[in-house]
Structures are given as structure tokens and as C-alpha cells.
Structure 1
């Protein structure tokens, strides 16, 4: 498997930290980005300690940086940020020429529970917004449905679920499909064009509702492959 230098934008959040940890323990170089380099460094230290505890010391390099600094030398950029402020943040990042993986879920919550937010009048998604803002990057959507507590948990692989990958570039999707092996132990599933992020992103609200009802950390598994 190809190894990458991966910038995790929003690396101080639970999803970014968990995915960064999974990438790092499989030999990828991970830089945890944050609005402040100090916060990124604190998460990097936490992940380094976890890697040492798990017996992966010396196999990877992790460090912290501001979000823009983390992207500068990266091959792959993971966007793991809240949707609020997403577009403004993406516009500040050096993303040209890089594979950008968006796991951003535009969600809202009211008295009835979680639901997907309408993006661009129903004709857009967070991933598509990132591609529009950074036209010289290759944007794919992936890792939307993997629970942050499970990512940080003790299982070697989350082999009970699949990572669904959408994008308009076969090469870009292949990067995310390969990285899925660090999480599930197998290739991610090619789920079609980037516009299908409009369906994948809000599906997370369904999983949150299931988790609340059954007190679990649910995921997505594709049957019949």
C-alpha cells in the first residue's frame, strides 16, 4: 500500500483524531491541523502516546500545526471539521494538486432530533462545496459514517462496516479506498460520483438516531459485494 503524508484539518476534533490515529498506526505520516498549532501539537502528543502504548512507536511521525501549515507539505488532506464555517476555512487552505477527502456532515438538530441540512438548495453537499472552492484539488467524500468513539477504541479493525467513497476522479477515489483498509481492514466501496455525497452526508443523521435508540455505535455495511 502506498504511504502518504496526510494533513488532518480539524484534527483536534474526535473524528479527525480517530481517523488520524488509524492512519498513523498503519505507517502514514500524519499532521494534525488546528486553528492553533498548539492545539494541533497537543493532539499529536496524545496520539503519539497512544501509538507507543499500542506498540507502534517509531513506525510513524506525527506533529501538530495550524490547518494551513498542515496542508502545505501534504499529499492528502482530510477535512474533518464542523459544517459551520466550512466554506470560509476551505478557502484559506493550500489544496491545489492534493487529494482532499471530506468526511464533513452538514447536520442540524432540533426537538425531533438530528437531520441533514439542505446545501445549495438541495443540489450540493459539503464535498461539492469544497471542490467548487478548490477547483485544482481532487475532492472525494469518504469516512462519513464511522463513529469517532469506535475509531479511538481498541478493535484492530472495524470489520463490521464499510467505508463508502464517492468522487468524480477514479484516482482520487482509489486513495480513499486504500486508506479505508486502515479502518476496516479491507478496501472502501466505490459509491459513485461526487454528487452522491448529497445522500451520504445526511445519512449520518439516521445513524445518530439509531445510536440513541439502541445505545450502540452503528455503521454502514454493504451486502452482496
Structure 2
């Protein structure tokens, strides 16, 4: 576990994934600002998270704000938003100088189930799009495959690993530190940002497993000493 504490803006913080990650980060001692288009909605969900924390020892502070204000007050920004409207939202945020963590999964659904959308003809991903749209930020991909249901449950930690991809080691270290609040151990360096092209659509495989076996599955990486 890391002693470093971060202040994290969770954009999409009122959705299940954003709320769940915000809860886990705060439980791990990090300060969290949930962002939404409407500040009032963000503040209401922040109150839910505070209630869920129940005064846990060492928990960080949790607040809510409109998206631009949430970003302005934090050094780390988590993008936990649907892919539809992603580019327009990212382009509107003051992300320069921030470490940006994208857990956005461009997925589509049809009668055969979930599958990954093809981004930029197979040469891109949501994380890479965010980096292109915010060139003065440093974007990494992480938390793609973590179950929103599991994040909000009672288990102390999720029994899985968080894979982090990015082109800047220091930014990956931030996401790897934050992963410890979710899984009880630091995240795993999975390589360069372009590998988000594999991590993002892999979530569709987990959705398929979950439907088949009625579970909330995750990824574990073997062969490493944690």
C-alpha cells in the first residue's frame, strides 16, 4: 500500500463505475471530488459515498462539483464516462498539466451480446483519443475491467488486478498507487498507452462471462510477486 495521497476528480462520478471508484479511493485515504454536468447531482451522490464510508478510519474527503470545477481543484482526473459524447466532454475540460486516468470502454451491444467498438480503424482507443484531445495532459489507461457492482459491495478489496498502460512512467505510478485502494495491491504496469486498444474491448469478454455464470468477474495476473 502506498503512503502517497492524491486528490482525484472523478468525471462521470455519478455513474456506477465513477461512484464506485470514488468510494474505493476515498476509503483508501484519497480525497475525491465527484464531477457531473450538474453540481447538485454530484453533491447528492457525494453524500451517498460519505454515508457508505460511514466514518471509516483514515478515509479521504468526498465532495461534488460541476465537471470543470472538479478538474480545476485536482491534480489527478479519472474519466469514467460513456464513450458516446466522450470526445466533446474531454475537449471541454481544463486538463492541461493533469494526470488523466481513462477507464472508458467503447462498447456496443447487439443480439449476440457485448463487443468492442473499432476506434480509428483499429489504430486507436478511448485513452489515446483523450491524449490527442488534451495534449498538455498525461493520459494513462486503467480500471477498465473492474466491476462497478463489486466496487460498491462490502468486500474490503476486490480479488483481481488492475492493469495500467501509458507512455509516461510517473503517470502510470499514480494509477498503480490508486489501484491499491481497490485491490489491496498496486496496479501492474501493462505497457504503452496503445495497449488500451486491447484492454478496453476486453471488458466485453468479462460481460459475456458475467452473463453466462451470473458473477462479477475480474482479471488476475499470475507469475508476479506482489
Give the length in aligned residue pairs: 222
Show the counterpart of 1:196: 195
Using the TM superposition, give the Cα deviation of residue 76 of structure 1 relative to its aligned residue in structure 2, in angstroms: 0.4
Which whole-Å deviations, capped at 9, do the CAs of 1:182-203 have from their partners, x for residues lacking one? 0110010100000000000000
2:91 and 2:52 mapped to 1: Cα distance? 33
SS of the residue corresponding to residue 191 of structure 1 reads strand
Runs of 4+ in 1 over 4 A off after TM superposition: none
SS of the residue corresponding to residue 56 of structure 1 reads coil
SS of the residue corresponding to residue 191 of structure 2 reads coil
Show the counterpart of 1:38: 40
Show the counterpart of 1:219: 218
Distance 1:58 1:161, change over 3 A: closer
Indicate conservation of the 8 Å contact 2:27/2:58, yes or no: no
Using the TM superposition, give the Cα deviation of residue 60 of structure 1 relative to its aligned residue in structure 2, in angstroms: 2.2
Which whole-Å deviations, capped at 9, do the CAs of 1:140-188 have from their partners, x for residues lacking one? 0000001001000001011x21000000000000000111100110010
CA RMSD of aligned residues (A): 0.9
Show the counterpart of 2:116: 116
2:208 and 2:99 mapped to 1: Cα distance? 31
1:86 and 1:161 mapped to 2: Cα distance? 27
Which segments of 5 or more consecutive residues in structure 1 lack a partner in the other structure?
none
Using the TM superposition, give the Cα deviation of residue 62 of structure 1 relative to its aligned residue in structure 2, in angstroms: 1.2
Q: Which deviates more from structure 2 when the two are superposed, residues 83-92 or residues 61-70?
A: 61-70
SS of the residue corresponding to residue 8 of structure 2 reads strand
Indicate conservation of the 8 Å contact 1:168/1:194, yes or no: yes
1:177 and 1:83 mapped to 2: Cα distance? 23
Show the counterpart of 1:162: 161
Indicate conservation of the 8 Å contact 2:164/2:172, yes or no: yes
Residue 27, structure 1, aligned to residue 29, structure 2: yes
SS of the residue corresponding to residue 92 of structure 2 reads coil
Show the counterpart of 1:180: 179
Indicate conservation of the 8 Å contact 1:48/1:57, yes or no: no
1:102 and 1:117 mapped to 2: Cα distance? 16
Show the counterpart of 1:75: 75
Which segments of 5 or more consecutive residues in structure 2 lack a partner in the other structure?
none
2:85 and 2:165 mapped to 1: Cα distance? 23
What TM-score comes out, normalization by structure 2 length?
Answer: 0.96
Using the TM superposition, give the Cα deviation of residue 77 of structure 1 relative to its aligned residue in structure 2, in angstroms: 0.2
From 1, 4, 7, the counterpart of 1:2? 4
Which whole-Å deviations, capped at 9, do the CAs of 1:96-133 have from their partners, x for residues lacking one? 11100000000000111100001011100000000000
